[in-house]
Amino acid sequence: MGPTCHETSEQAIVLRPIRTSDAGEVLTVQRAAFVSEAQIYGDPSQGPLVQTLEQLTAELEDAGGFVALLGERIVGAIRTSEGDDVLLIGRIAIAPDMQGRGIGRRLLAEAEESSTSSVAELFTGSLSEANIALYEKCGYRESTRIDNGDGTAQVFMRKPLRTLAPLAPPAPLVPSRETG
């Protein structure tokens, strides 16, 4: 049986909040990680591959998220934002030589656990079968599919993060002692 959503075989990895000063290294990891996605879709102009350092730095001024460190090296990153009680998760990127070690699962779990939102949402492409399988293992379910008109689709997935406390059972009815 493989690792669950929260397990990892890489114990030397340390997670910390992402900083704007991480932009250069995060961009390097992001570009390396998304090459395989570009190959799947035959599209080298995907957003994560063409994003500039200036764009990423500006994004990190408003975004949350975490990086995964192996020593001083950033080997993974996840970006988040929250609004309308939804944690939006974006651009999970793991250095290619570190993939398959549970780092993405740990980053995802950290983002979810640090959120105050009641639901998390992310998206991936319909041809990204490994991503979809991972997200399903982590409790995400497809919520929306948007056709791109080229045989592919954007697959939006959601996961409840917080459930409302169960309502207290109703008080037992006390028979009335009134007489008619």
> pLDDT: is 155 or 40 the higher one?
155
pLDDT for residue 7:
47
Q: How does pLDDT run across 38-94, given as a tens digit for each residue?
A: 788 878 778 888 889 999 999 999 889 999 999 999 999 999 999 999 999 999 999
For residues 130 and 167, give the distance between their C-alpha atoms in angstroms, rounded to a whole number.
39
Whether 78 and 33 have beta carbons less than 8 Å apart is answered as no
Residue with tokens 């250095």: 95
Q: How does pLDDT run across 159-180, given as a tens digit for each residue?
A: 999 865 555 566 566 554 554 4
Mean pLDDT of the chain: 87
Query: First vs last Cα of the chain: how many Å apart?
Result: 68
Q: What is the pTM of this model?
A: 0.80
